[in-house]
Structure 1
Amino acid sequence: MTRNKAYFFAFSGAALWGFIGLFVQALYNAGFTPWETVAIRAIFSALLIVGFLLIRHPSYLKINIKDFPYFIGTGVLSIVFFNWCYFTVMEEASLSLAVVLLYTGPLFVTILSRFIFKEWFTKRKIVSLFLTMTGCAFAVGLLPAFNTSISFFVIITGLGSGFFYALYSIFGKYVSQRYSSLTVTAYSFICASFLMIPAGGLIGKVELLLDMEIILYAIGLAFVPTVLGYILYTYGLTYIESSRASILTTIEPVVAILIGVTVFGDILGGWQIVGVLFVLASIFVVSEPEKHSDNHISSASEFT
């Protein structure tokens, strides 16, 4: 594969992640809550990615049972709760704000990695932390005049999405050297499904789930911004540097914000746009490895 094609696949996969709001909002309009929407994404994604691996790479489904607790971490502690926080901010505020706060994930990865993996704060990481915090402060209205109409609940929930999002990288680091990234993703969604099948609240909405339009939205949520997006991104990542590929993930919030503004009527003020640019800049900064540094961890999106 040529370098340009690899970039195209990685870029396309990351762009598809940004389409998640279209499917989530459609499920909200149909009467599902954020928690129920998390259940739909987890269960349908698990079915699709396991089906894909059974057909194409059955060996990828073999794991050591001792590693299962790490997949519980990536699946339950990360995927379930970051999706719930992310989807809740979409419902309570806007898609644009939700994606900006989600991208505090690299900030939390950097902080947690310092204490868990003893990775030092490098100059790039410190600059990235500053850009992320400043950008989020502008996005929610805390800067420049500490005048915000966004509730404390939305801000904390949005930051929670970034924190739980970061846990995927933390738990995933323990198993990423032993398994394909597709294996990690598959078992993460399997574990998420184990929780959400009994606890997701879908039992009381079986009639809705039998509606063909709802089934299409559910499959779309699982396929387009989840399985297909991740497969394309991972395929491209095979042929290019991970740091370069992770920079391409900045297209995800751009696509999501464009959809929020053009489709859902999100309104971004001047200072909020500044905040978005700061957050995007922070991803560029932290994705470029520093010279003479062996402690870099890519903290851009694993998947959304």
Structure 2
Amino acid sequence: MKNKLPRLVLIGAAFLYATAGVFDRTLSAEVSVYMQVLIRTALSVLLFISIVFLKRVQFRKIERKDWKYLIAQGVLSFSGFIFFIQAVTKIPIGLTLFTFYSGILISVFIYSSFIFKEKVTKTTFTALCLSSIGLVIMFLNSLETYSLYGFIFAFIAGCGFGLNFPVSKHVSDKYSHLQINTTVFFVSFILSTCTVFLTGTTITFSYSIGIWVAFILYSITIILAYFACIYGFQHTKTQIASLTLLLEVVFAVVIGYLVYREIPTLHTTIGGILILISQILINIKPEVEKPVQ
């Protein structure tokens, strides 16, 4: 059970990220894109600071060589969200998701191969192929000609999201997850604040109680997912972890049906089944590893 825990935690993270669509639809009714990012990161930082004071946590002094990884995580996290939203405004959501997840897989496999020297096993390669085919089938109807910028933004967003957690492996064995997350979200908050002012976004906090409740729940959900991903990536091969997160697509389809009664198409069903089969393959022989030194 202990060996399976990191994988189970990653599956939980995939489910939490899959709920983002519900929150996004709720918030988009009243809140502009950049204000969403600003308020979410601000609430996240406040939650982290509250935990630090309530538990009287003392952070370890961050070594100079480690700052580049923590700042990089903040930049990657921020860029992933911003570029994803920009992509959605230029190409359909289905095509955005296809390109987004392609960016995750490609960037993580390249990073893990060159930086962590991880070898692609037959099982991992088979799972990668099944997942990729599943993604293509799920979003087959969306593959049409659209703005090149939309593709670029979606791919960058996928790379930003995908590389965020492998980068955390460089420091996750040296600092507490609370310290890492507090630092990363603070960097994202600074970037969000700068973006709001640079884009001339109207700053307002006059939202309904329902919107504020959604903001708080959304922030807590993302924080829990972030903690789960750092833990999961710390104790699992990077390639396997990234494949596990693809379950977010399957969970999103299920949530879409339960909440909005969105009926899955035949393509979506077949693609989802292939992704599930890939998950069974990578879980036959769990590959849990020690933290990267």
Q: TM-score range by the shorter chain?
A: 0.7 to 0.9
> After superposition, what is the alpha-carbon deviation per residue over 1:74-114, rounded to whole angstroms, capped at 9, x for unaligned?
111x21121224445566534x7666655442443122211
Alpha-carbon distance in structure 1 between the residues aligned to 2:106 and 2:163: 11
Query: Are positions 1:216 and 2:205 aligned together?
Result: no
Alignment match, 2:79: 81
Q: Deviations over 1:239-293 (max 9, x none)?
A: xx758x96986664433222334445655421232223333444454466577x9
Shift of 1:73: 0.9
Distance in 2, Cα, partners of 1:65 & 1:236 = 23
- Asked if residue 160 in structure 1 is aligned to residue 156 in structure 2, the reply is yes
CA distance in 2, matches of 1:285, 1:161: 27
Aligned length in residues: 284
- Given that 1:73 and 1:167 are in contact with CA atoms closer than 8 Å, whether structure 2 keeps it comes out as no
Equivalents in 2 of 1:127, 1:265: separation in Å?
33
Partner of 1:206: 203
Contact 1:72 1:188 in 2 (8 A): yes
**Counterparts in 2 of 1:149 and 1:31: CA distance versus 1, 3 Å:** farther
Shift, 1:49, TM fit? 2.1
Determine the structure 1 residue equivalent to 2:190.
194
**Residues of 1 paired with 2:160 and 2:224: CA distance?**
22
Specify every segment of 5 or more residues in structure 1 that has no aligned partner in the other structure, as ranges. Answer: 298-304
Query: Hey, what's the Cα distance between the residues in 2 that align with 1:164 and 1:188?
Result: 13
Q: CA deviation at 1:210?
A: 5.5
Q: List runs of 5+ in structure 2 lacking aligned partners.
A: none
> Do the aligned residues in 2 keep the contact of 1:107 with 1:129 (CA within 8 Å)?
no
SS in 2 for 1:132: helix
Specify the code of the residue in structure 2 equivalent to 1:216: V
Percent of aligned pairs with the same residue? 21
- Map Cα deviations across residues 4-28 of structure 1 (whole Å, 9 max, x no partner): xx79x94666533322112211221
Post-superposition Cα deviations, 1:283-304, rounded to whole Å, max 9, x if no partner, equal 454466577x97999xxxxxxx
1:81 counterpart letter in structure 2? S
Q: Which amino acid aligns with 2:52?
A: L
Write the distance in 2 (CA, Å) between the matches of 1:295 and 1:218: 36
In structure 2, the residue matched to 1:151 is 146
SS in 1 for 2:32: coil
Which residue in the other structure is 1:19 paired with? 19
Task: Note the C-alpha offset of 1:222.
Answer: 0.8
* Pair 1:278-2:277 in alignment: no
Question: How many Å separate the matches in 2 of 1:287 and 1:150?
Answer: 37
- Aligned AA for 1:16? L
Which whole-Å CA distance do the structure 1 matches of 2:164 and 2:230 have between them?
20
Question: In structure 2, what is the equivalent of residue 260 of structure 1?
Answer: 256
User: Which TM-score applies when normalising by structure 1?
Assistant: 0.72
After TM superposition, the score normalised by the length of structure 2 is: 0.75
Q: Deviations 1:124-172 (Å, cap 9, x if unpaired)?
A: 2222321232222212217xxxx73473555544433322112113321
- Shift of the 134–13 alpha-carbon distance from structure 1 to 2, 3 Å rule, reads closer
Is the CA contact 1:289–1:296 (under 8 Å) kept in the aligned structure 2? no
- 1:118-129 correspondence to structure 2 within 5 Å: 118-129=117-128
Alignment of 1:65-80 (within 5 A): 65-76=64-75, 78-80=76-78
Inter-CA distance 85–236: structure 2 relative to 1 (3 Å threshold): closer
Structure 2 counterpart of 1:110: 109
Q: Provide the rounded CA distance (Å) in 2 between the counterparts of 1:182 and 1:82.
A: 21
Counterpart residue identity of residue 113, structure 2: R
Relative to 1, partners in 2 of residues 1:85 and 1:203: Cα closer, same or farther, differing over 3 Å? closer
How far the C-alpha of 1:192 sits from its partner, in A, is 0.9
